Amino acid sequence: MDQLDERQRTVFCAVVEEHIRAAEPVGSEHPAVRERLGVSPATIRNTMAALEEMGLLTHPHTSAGRIPTDAGYRLYVDMFQEAEALSAAERQAIRRRLETSAEDPSAAAGQAARVLAFVTQYLSVVASPGLQHQTFRSLHLVPLGERRAIAVIATDSGGLQARMIDLPEGIGPDDLEQISQAITHRLQGCRLADLTHERLEQIVGEASWHHRLLAEVKTWLGRELARGGHPRIVMEGTRHLLREPEFRRPDAATQLLEALEEESVLADAMAAAPEQGLWISIGAENRREELRGCSLVMATYRAGPQVVGTVGIVGPTRMRYRRALAAVRYVADRLTETLKAFE
Amino acid sequence: MDQLDERQRTVFCAVVEEHIRAAEPVGSEHPAVRERLGVSPATIRNTMAALEEMGLLTHPHTSAGRIPTDAGYRLYVDMFQEAEALSAAERQAIRRRLETSAEDPSAAAGQAARVLAFVTQYLSVVASPGLQHQTFRSLHLVPLGERRAIAVIATDSGGLQARMIDLPEGIGPDDLEQISQAITHRLQGCRLADLTHERLEQIVGEASWHHRLLAEVKTWLGRELARGGHPRIVMEGTRHLLREPEFRRPDAATQLLEALEEESVLADAMAAAPEQGLWISIGAENRREELRGCSLVMATYRAGPQVVGTVGIVGPTRMRYRRALAAVRYVADRLTETLKAFE
DNA sequence: GTTAGCACTCTCGTCTGATGAGTGCTAACG
DNA sequence: CGTTAGCACTCATCAGACGAGAGTGCTAAC
């Protein structure tokens, strides 16, 4: 869209930014637009008409100002990939909030969602694909009383999954130790996604240990993986959505919330994200119809080389994209940094 | 409030139930009211006026029907402690959803919230007080590579908390084993709430093991406890709130959501609950002003003899109390049953 | 190419009156 | 004396009218 001349660009940006700021159609007489150029409203009107012709702006009705179309926003974000800078205080708030994640990666998603909602004032979403995308590191069976044990799976990205299991009769601590080591040995380095039930059967089953116990561990692993299949999604900051003028109409809000609370919608939408870098989906660009009224800004985060999750925000198409970009990128980067410890 | 005579009772109940059903003021000519008595609207009007006198009903405006006051709802729920029965299908859905919790108590809260929101069609809340209210059972340090270990705390109610810790140089598996046993031995049976930082210092500190490691374990325990202090709250089903007519006014919804997303509000409100049994808080009865427009129905659940959490729902004061009671009680009971395994 | 002028369009807030639901009061009734 | 019919009254709600204001597009002059 470089076919915009100098003036068109200026007018276009002024309209987008003013509309993002004020949430209202921007007229040709609007100071924000006029200030940037030395020309009269009439001239601006001509330019606006041209921009509308190109499909970048539109009219809610005859006598209203212009608002950007989805295509307009798209052009805008493509023009301004360089994001707005976060203030030092904001950066610090984010870092502080995520520090604790280093100690407890399982809480990282929640923390990230919280701080992102706070900084952006939009609804934030963090999807952590659970075990699915992680690499098996070790299994430990720790005896706990006579007939019970704690089983812990550790993954390379610092993930831990603990649960209790019942023991068949006649299994001693030594047996547990032996089984732990054997399973650890056989599964180490295995991507958990590759551990189908059959595979598990094959790898583990060929040994002839105490069968009942093995069966129990096996079903657990299987179930844990099944659950890891659809990522756990944490949402935070629903309240911010309701404050946006575009969602003040009660059923607009209801519809959106219903969509968001159904996990598959967000999961779908986020599945379209590339593995690397920032990713923006504006209005009609969204796969799921329910999200056509909003925009998503997303980024993946990694533990070492492995992508382990997605952070992002959901807001109206009239979103403060530059700020959102900055915040999402910063949070994703810090998360990645934090999880480096477990590389 | 037994000073209600037969007719007053009938009219009162009819008004409450009809209003709960239809969400609109109930007039004296309303079939639902008239059907229950053989009398004319004029007579009902007199009765209604009397009930209004007593503070049980009120008028939105002169020419509107009657709606119950908070006091009216209170009387109503007190009269009908016997809850509506859940359908077999509903009971089964709840049981099924909670079965998996037996294997993974940490996911129990989430599951319970989900199923409760689904069954009641209100917003549901589950607060699991975390470690705070549980009893220490054992600590295990499992070596993981050279300089790292997994630390797992187990509690009597089946709770597990796992995290990774860095090891100081020169600590072998035997040391870890020894330290685990020593700490387990000293803290066993201790209510975690009683483990203040000083106490921890005192109990653990008197021994002369490897200091750096101990320090690490200690700060972890301390931090974990501090976090356990304010319970983790899971909310599910925000969408249901927006569907209620009383929250269709955009800022009513916004205000309520803002309150609910601030954890302290719910935590406060729930702190007023008794340890045992069902508990209902209607409108103005709520401690926190932000919740004056809604009602809560709550119940605690236990792991063995120990109360470990609260489940409940939030809805308009015009709530289907009898149904809500049944659902909340059933979920709490099933949760308690499920967690019995860890007694 | 730019701008002033102007007629035109359309939304929005306010006002109006009509409608209708539901009341409280009074007087008659069994 | 409790119950009921009748009736005047109140008040929210809704549709339609109206004016104000915002912003447009067009035209003609600069």
Contact A254 B261 (CB under 8 A): no
Amino acid at the residue B10: T
Interface contact flag, A162 B158, Cβ < 8 Å: no
What is residue A90's predicted lDDT score, i.e. its pLDDT? 95
Residue A120 pLDDT exceeds 90: yes
For residue range A266-311, list pLDDT tens digits in order.
Answer: 988 888 888 888 999 999 999 888 999 999 999 999 877 778 889 9
Q: Are B144 and A150 a contacting pair at CB < 8 A?
A: no
Q: Count of residues for chain A?
A: 343
Same domain for B71 and B197? no
Q: Where are the beta strands (DSSP E) in B203-334?
A: 232-236, 278-282, 294-303, 306-316
Average pLDDT (B240-262) is 91
Domain CATH number, residue B54: 1.10.10.10
Q: What is the pLDDT of residue A217?
A: 72
What pLDDT score was predicted for residue B286? 92
| pLDDT surpassing 80 at residue A134 | no
Show Cβ contacts of residue A68 under 8 Å, excluding neighbours closer than 6 positions: A15, A16, A19, A56, A57, A58, A76, A318
| Residue A1 forms part of a structural domain | no
Residue B218: CATH number of its domain:
3.30.390.60
Domain boundary (B229, B261, B289) is at: B229
Using the CB atom, is residue A6 less than 7 Å from strand C? no
Token output for A2: 């470089």
Whether A201 contacts chain B with CB within 8 A: no
Closest to A244 in 3D by CA, of A134, A318, A339 = A318
For residue B292, report the phi and psi dihedrals to the nearest 5 degrees.
Answer: -60, -20
Please give the structure tokens belonging to residue A122.
């939009």
Amino acid B256 reads L
At residue B297, φ and ψ (nearest 5 deg) are -125, 120
Q: Do A138 and B152 touch (CB under 8 A)?
A: no
DSSP A285-303: GSSSGGGTTEEEEEEEEEE
| Percent share of chain A, pLDDT over 70 | 89
Task: Supply B302's token pair.
Answer: 């236990």
CA of residue A9 to C1' of nucleotide D24, angstroms: 21
Q: Which of A183, A203, A229 is the last residue of a domain?
A: A229
CB-based contact A162 B152, cutoff 8 Å? yes
Q: Are residues A236 and A179 in the same domain?
A: no
The pLDDT mean for chain B works out to 85
Measured over the CA atoms of residue B92, residue B93, residue B96 and residue B100, the dihedral's sign is negative
Which two structure tokens, joined as six digits, stand for A265?
A: 């919608």
More confident residue, B226 or A325: A325
* CA gap B316, B246 in Å, rounded: 7
The band of B275, judged by pLDDT with boundaries at 50, 70 and 90, is confident
Please tell me chain B's helix, strand, coil percentages from 3-state DSSP, rounded to the nearest 5. Answer: 55, 20, 25
* Residue B27 approaches strand C within 7 Å at CB: yes
A38 touches chain B (CB under 8 A): no
CA distances from A65 to A5, A41, A53 (A): 21, 12, 15
pLDDT confidence of B131, banded at 50, 70, 90? low
- Tell whether B202 and B283 lie within a shared domain: no
Contact residues for B218 (Cβ-Cβ < 8 A; gap 6+):
B200, B201, B204, B205
Pure H helices in chain A: 6-22, 31-36, 41-53, 70-79, 88-103, 108-120, 173-187, 197-205, 211-229, 238-243, 250-261, 263-271, 321-339
The pLDDT of residue A231 is: 67
pLDDT digits (tens, 9 = 90+) for B52-61: 999 999 999 9
pLDDT tier at B315, thresholds 50, 70, 90: very high
The answer to whether B63 CB sits below 7 Å from nucleic acid chain D is yes
Enumerate the residues of chain B whose CB falls inside 8 A of the CB of residue A265: none
Nearest Cα to Cα of residue B159 among B105, B113, B107? B105
% of chain A residues with pLDDT over 90: 43
Q: How far apart are CA A165 and CA A147, in angstroms?
A: 9
Measuring CA to CA, which residue among A86, A79, A81 is closest to residue A14?
A: A79
pLDDT of residue B89: 96
A209: pLDDT strictly greater than 60: no
The yes-or-no verdict on residue B215 having pLDDT over 80 is: no
Nearest nt to the CA of B64 via C1' is: C22
What pLDDT digit, counting tens, does each position of B45-54 carry?
Answer: 999 999 999 9
- Within 7 Å of a protein beta carbon, the nucleotides of strand D are 3-6, 9-12, 21-27
Backbone dihedral angles phi then psi of residue B237, each to the nearest 5 degrees: 90, 30
Q: Which residues of A touch B236 (CB under 8 A)?
A: 261
Give residue B256's pLDDT: 94
Closest C-alpha to A232, from A329, A128, A335: A128
Instruction: Quote the CA–CA distance of B184 and B173 in Å, as a whole number.
Output: 16
Q: How far apart are the first and last CA of chain B?
A: 42
For A195-207, how does the pLDDT look when each residue is reduced to its tens digit (9 = 90+)?
A: 776 777 776 665 5
Query: pLDDT digits over B276-313, tens only?
Result: 889 999 999 998 899 999 999 999 998 777 788 899 99
**Separation between Cα atoms, residue B49 and residue B27, nearest integer Å:** 12
Residues of A in contact with B144 (CB under 8 A): 137-138, 154
Q: Is the C-beta of residue A49 closer than 7 Å to nucleic acid chain C?
A: no
Q: Does A223 share its domain with A184?
A: yes
Please count the structural domains in chain A. 3
Q: Please state, in angstroms and rounded to a whole number, the distance separating the CA atoms of residues B256 and A253.
A: 14
CATH number at A261 reads: 3.30.450.40
A66/chain B closest Cα distance in angstroms: 26
Q: Which residues contact A136 (CB under 8 A, 6 or more apart)?
A: A153, A155, A156, A187, A188, A189, A190, A191, A192, A195
Q: How many residues does chain B have?
A: 343
Give residue-wise pLDDT tens across range A73-105: 999 999 877 778 899 999 999 999 888 766 666
Return d(Cα A87, Cα A330) in angstroms, integer: 12
Please check whether residues A180 and A259 belong to one and the same domain.
no
Q: Does residue A226 have a pLDDT over 90?
A: no
Q: Domain boundary residue among B229, B251, B285?
A: B229
Do both B113 and B162 map to the same domain?
A: no
Integer angstrom CA distances of residue A33 from A13, A43, A219, B112, B170: 9, 11, 64, 53, 68
pLDDT digits (tens, 9 = 90+) for B104-127: 666 788 889 999 999 999 999 998
pLDDT at A156: 78
Q: Given an 8 Å threshold on Cβ–Cβ distance, is B164 in contact with A158?
A: yes
User: Regarding beta strands B232-236 and B160-166, do their DSSP bridges make them parallel or antiparallel, or are they unpaired?
Assistant: unpaired
For residue A316, give its domain range. 88-129+231-342
Which of B122, B180, B261 to substitute to test the interface with A, most A CBs within 10 Å?
B261
Cβ–Cβ contact A258 with B under 8 A: yes
Helices of type H across A121-249: 173-187, 197-205, 211-229, 238-243
Distance between A156 CA and the closest CA of chain B, angstroms: 11
| Residue B1 in domain | no
CB atoms within 10 A of CB A13: 17
Chain B nearest-CA distance from A258, in A, is: 6
Return the closest-CA partner of residue B141 out of B107, B171, B105, B186.
Answer: B171
More confident residue, B321 or A192: B321
The answer to whether the beta carbon of residue A237 comes closer than 7 angstroms to any atom of strand D is no
Question: Of all nucleotides in the shown strands, which has a C1' nearest the CA of A26?
Answer: D23
- B97 with B154, same domain: the answer is no
Q: What is the pLDDT of residue A70?
A: 97
Q: Is residue A68 located within the same domain as residue A105?
A: no
Phi and psi angles of residue B262, each rounded to the nearest 5 degrees, phi first: -90, 110
Whether residues B109 and B188 share a domain: the answer is: no
CA–CA gap between residue A215 and residue B226 (Å, rounded): 38
Q: What are the E-state strand segments in B129-277? A: 136-143, 148-155, 160-166, 232-236
Cβ contact A61 with chain D strand, < 7 A: no
Cβ within 8 Å of residue B34, ≥6 positions away: B41, B44
Virtual CA dihedral for B210, B211, B214, B215, nearest 10 degrees? -160
- Same domain for B272 and B295, yes or no, is yes
Chain B residues inside the 8 Å CB shell of A254: 239, 242-243
Which residues are CB-neighbours of A11 under 8 A, at least 6 positions away? A33, A36, A37, A44, A47, A48, A51
Backbone φ and ψ of A29, nearest 5°? -90, 0
Domain annotation covers residue A115: yes
pLDDT bracket for residue B188 (50, 70, 90): confident
Residue B180: per-residue pLDDT? 86
**pLDDT tens across A26-62, in order?**
999 888 887 788 888 999 999 999 999 999 999 998 8
Q: What is the mean pLDDT of chain A?
A: 85
Among B41-45, B118-122, B143-147, where is mean pLDDT lowest? B143-147
Residues B61 and B120 in one domain: no
Q: Are residues B62 and B198 located together in one domain of the fold? A: no
Token pair for B59: 């008028």
